[in-house]
Amino acid sequence: MTDFFTMASLVFVVGSGIRLATPFLLAGLGETIGQRSGVLNLGVDGVMLLGAFGAYWTILETGRPVAGVSVGLGVGLVMGVVYGVVTVTLRAEQGVSGIGIFLFGLGMSDLLFQKKVGTPLPIRGFGEWHVPVLSRIPKVGEMFFQHSVLVYLAFLLVPLVAFLLNRTTFGLNVRAVGENPAAADSLGVSVARVRYTTILLANGLAGLAGAVLAIELGIFQQNLTNGQGFIAIALVYFGAWRPIGVMGGALLFGMVSATVLQWKTLGLVSGATSSLTAMAPAILTIVALVVISRTVGQPAALTRPFDRGL
């Protein structure tokens, strides 16, 4: 166990935790925006997979990471349009539509991968960008300031999204629509337009999260996300629908996962017992939530389609 508590080991764990947290964070932020306006999107994982494949294939063919990221984002936006049509215009039930999108994304990304990609060659990403000056601070620099550009982007989005939700008119509309769409409607806010926008943002971020995942791993595979999209949804609840809370949840999850992995690398746990330690992130998340014990915060109109006529 002393092996684990060396400086080098701990530094690695923190850095790794941040890296592992990034896709959760991006998808979680998107889902937060959507849910604050009353839209639950259970299809996040599927959109992430489509975004991941889009990014992977683009980079495989063109060799340009920026193009890959753009495609991932674009794929997410397209899925956002679809989801918007289904849940806002057609007012379909959100939970099941989301699961439908998930299944579609899961199957489609796998199908396209098997048929369009011959040998799954690895792709190169952005590499690390060392923040000038800050990255030179011993230990702290390694932990926080030597990551890929995409990681910084994700964490910068946290205050941005918070600002968006809390300090802009748009954010005000979003929250109003999420709490009481009828009242918002009577005040002249177009519920449909607000929700379309949040859905586009949410799905775009989900597609981006998938792209980030594929680029960081340098590869694509069937079910690459392995349920991360669902975990991101759970983290939104964990974070009480606040961006900073979601970030906290993502980091908690990432750090614990990284710790467990490091234990395995160092041979501190092995064989079957490693399965027990792999439960740690999940159990800790539940325990943390019980301790914090929040019951308030859910947007009142979450999952309810808004029908102007009613």
- Tell me if 270 contacts another protein by CB under 8 A: yes
Using alpha carbons only, how large is the chain's radius of gyration in Å?
20
* Tokens matching residue 9: 């080991």
- Tell me if 9 contacts another protein by CB under 8 A: yes
Query: Contact region for another protein (CB under 8 A) — 64-72, 116-124, 160-168, 192-200?
Result: 116-124
Whole-number minimum distance, CB 163 to another protein, in Å? Answer: 26
* Dihedral sign of CA atoms 38, 43, 45, 46 in order: negative
- Tell me if 79 contacts another protein by CB under 8 A: no
Whole-number minimum distance, CB 160 to another protein, in Å? Answer: 25
- Please check whether residue 148 is in contact with residue 126, taking contact to mean a CB–CB distance below 8 angstroms: yes
* Dihedral sign of CA atoms 184, 188, 192, 197 in order: negative
- Tell me if 121 contacts another protein by CB under 8 A: yes
The residue from 66, 107, 137, 187 that contacts another protein (CB under 8 A) is 107
- Tell me if 119 contacts another protein by CB under 8 A: yes
- At residue 148, φ and ψ (nearest 5 deg) are -70, 155
Residues 6+ apart with CB under 8 A from 211: 51, 52, 54, 55, 68, 69, 71, 72, 73
Q: Which of residues 220-259 bind another protein (CB under 8 A)?
A: 221-224, 226-228, 230-231, 233-234, 237-238, 257-258
Residues 13-32, one symbol each (x = binds another protein by CB under 8 A, - = not), give: --xx--xx------------
Whole-number minimum distance, CB 167 to another protein, in Å? Answer: 27
Residues 6+ apart with CB under 8 A from 91: 305, 306, 307
**Tokens 């896709």 sit on residue:** 23
- Tell me if 286 contacts another protein by CB under 8 A: yes
Whole-number minimum distance, CB 16 to another protein, in Å? Answer: 6
CA 266 to chain centroid: 29
